């Protein structure tokens, strides 16, 4: 590959309270960039772009120091903690039109950076999106592994498109990045949207490393919140399932009504007032479920489009 064919790569790294790992992470990523430049895989204008998602520690101070020390490091600070997905989106939005392709990776580098050269090779072979797929999940609690697998299975059943064992470690070309940024919903679930963009894709497998410094900030509550946002933003099948339950309940209530009327007028073994109470409860509960399901169908369409709140607010940027 000739030098003139090289393209600008940006490594987007979301950070939240990562003061323990940032300097080590930066050293390894800079070494990777230098090696890629030496191998003529990327242009020397390539750089690292840190996104501080409203950290409470010295993350932003360290990012600014790294930016002053290294010309290949830039940073963005959000005004508060907007969540991992929005921090990732903020970084992608800011580097759009400033690079040819982008790789997103976590600040703790549990995702193996040695997979990045393989991703670049896949990109030059024609893949617009290259997914990093975990061969193993070292260092993760059992409950995180189990809930992750369960979420993927449920989302697939409900119609969502997810790449198994893929988080947010991926390469995206310019066309895929522009297509992703056209999505304007507030509760964005990037890994679900990227897999449904329709470009040529490929995968690169890697072994997930154990976190060496600091502690993960992605607790069980944040995992549940991410799963819920992903489920509600990618598919309306849960609402349709509610509608189905309402219709099924209506059918059962009709059958039950036939039995109650039979018991009242044929066998006569019914306590006075019991029939009217039971019938009214079953019938109106079923009607309410059907109504909620139908209303939910319409609200789900409106929900995705009406909210126009900013998905992130920028406080500071260093280039």
Cα Rg of the chain (Å, integer):
26
Residue 3, pLDDT score: 43
Q: Name the β-bridge partners of 75.
A: 50, 318
* Cα separation, 64 vs 70, whole angstroms: 10
Is residue 1 very low, low, confident or very high in pLDDT (cuts 50, 70, 90)?
Answer: very low
Would you say 226 and 287 are in contact if contact means Cβ atoms under 8 Å apart?
no
Q: Kindly report, residue by residue over 104-127, the tens digit of the pLDDT.
A: 999 988 889 999 999 999 999 999
> Which are the contacts of 200, defined by CB distance < 8 A and separation ≥ 6?
126, 127, 128, 129
Cβ neighbour number for residue 315 with a 10 Å cutoff: 12
- pLDDT higher than 50, residue 267: yes
129-137 β-sheet, strand order: 201-208, 129-137, 170-173, 101-104, 9-15, 47-52, 73-78, 314-318
- pLDDT higher than 70, residue 296: yes
Is residue 4 very low, low, confident or very high in pLDDT (cuts 50, 70, 90)?
Answer: very low
More confident site: 39 or 268: 39
Would you say 113 and 121 are in contact if contact means Cβ atoms under 8 Å apart?
no
The sign of the dihedral angle between the CA atoms of 277, 283, 287, 292 is positive
Would you say 129 and 172 are in contact if contact means Cβ atoms under 8 Å apart?
yes
Is residue 91 very low, low, confident or very high in pLDDT (cuts 50, 70, 90)?
Answer: very high
* Cα separation, 36 vs 116, whole angstroms: 9
> Which are the contacts of 248, defined by CB distance < 8 A and separation ≥ 6?
none
* Cα separation, 273 vs 231, whole angstroms: 44
Q: Kindly report, residue by residue over 203-242, the tens digit of the pLDDT.
A: 999 887 776 655 655 555 556 565 556 555 656 666 667 6
Q: Kindly report, residue by residue over 18-28, the tens digit of the pLDDT.
A: 999 999 999 99
Token readout for 166 is: 């893929």
Mean pLDDT, to the nearest integer, of 145-161? 62
Residue 139, pLDDT score: 54
Mean pLDDT, to the nearest integer, of 179-206? 87
Is residue 185 very low, low, confident or very high in pLDDT (cuts 50, 70, 90)?
Answer: confident
Mean pLDDT of the chain, nearest integer? 81
Is residue 145 very low, low, confident or very high in pLDDT (cuts 50, 70, 90)?
Answer: low
Token readout for 29 is: 């990523």
Q: Domain 3-235's class?
A: alpha beta
Mean pLDDT, to the nearest integer, of 165-178? 91
| Residues above pLDDT 70, as percent of the chain | 74
Mean pLDDT, to the nearest integer, of 129-154? 68
Domain ranges in the chain are 3-235, 237-306
- pLDDT higher than 50, residue 2: no
Look at 84-93, 102-111, 131-140, 162-171 and tell me which has the smallest mean pLDDT: 131-140
Mean pLDDT, to the nearest integer, of 274-300? 71
Mean pLDDT, to the nearest integer, of 164-192? 87
Number of residues that make up the chain: 319
More confident site: 159 or 201: 201
Residue 35, pLDDT score: 95
Tell me, letter by letter, the H, E, C secondary structure of 223-265: HHHHHHHHHHHHCCHHHHHHHHHHHHHHHHHHHHHHHHHHHHH
With b meaning 16 or more CB within 10 Å and e meaning fewer, what string describes 24-63? ebbeebbebbeebbeeebbbebbbbbbbbbbbeeebbebb
pTM score of the predicted model: 0.73
Backbone angles phi, psi at 2, to 5 degrees: -80, 155
Residue 276, pLDDT score: 66
To 10 degrees, what angle do helices 116-124 and 22-38 make? Answer: 40
Token readout for 10 is: 């940006």
Mean pLDDT, to the nearest integer, of 244-254? 76
- pLDDT higher than 80, residue 60: yes
Residue 272, pLDDT score: 67
């Amino acid at each position: 590959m000739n030098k003139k064919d090289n393209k600008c790569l940006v490594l987007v790294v979301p950070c939240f309270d990562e003061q323990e790992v940032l300097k080590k992470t930066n050293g390894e990523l800079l070494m990777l960039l230098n090696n890629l430049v030496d191998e003529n895989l990327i242009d020397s204008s390539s750089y690292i772009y840190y996104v501080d998602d409203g950290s409470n520690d010295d993350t932003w101070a360290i990012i600014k120091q790294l930016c002053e020390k290294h010309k290949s490091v830039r940073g963005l600070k959000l005004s508060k903690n907007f969540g991992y997905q929005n921090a990732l989106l903020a970084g992608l939005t800011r580097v759009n039109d400033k690079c040819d392709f982008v790789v997103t990776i976590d600040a703790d580098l549990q995702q193996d950076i040695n997979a990045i050269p393989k991703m670049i090779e896949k990109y030059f072979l024609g893949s617009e999106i290259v997914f990093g797929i975990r061969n193993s999940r070292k260092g993760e609690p059992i409950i995180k592994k189990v809930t992750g697998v369960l979420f993927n299975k449920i989302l697939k059943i409900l119609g969502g498109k997810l790449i198994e064992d893929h988080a947010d470690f991926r390469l995206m070309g310019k066309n895929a990045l522009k297509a992703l940024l056209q999505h304007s919903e507030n509760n964005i679930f990037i890994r679900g949207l990227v897999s449904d963009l329709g470009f040529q894709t490929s995968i690169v497998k890697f072994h997930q490393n154990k976190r060496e410094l600091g502690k993960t900030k992605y607790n069980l509550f944040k995992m549940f919140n991410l799963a819920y946002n992903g489920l509600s933003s990618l598919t309306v099948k849960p609402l349709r399932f509610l509608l189905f339950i309402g219709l099924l309940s209506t059918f059962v209530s009709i059958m039950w009504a036939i039995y109650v009327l039979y018991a009242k007028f044929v066998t006569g073994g019914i306590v006075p007032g019991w029939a009217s109470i039971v019938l009214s409860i079953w019938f109106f509960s079923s009607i309410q479920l059907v109504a909620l399901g139908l209303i939910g169908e319409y609200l789900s369409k409106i929900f995705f489009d009406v909210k126009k709140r900013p998905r992130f607010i920028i406080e500071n940027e260093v280039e």
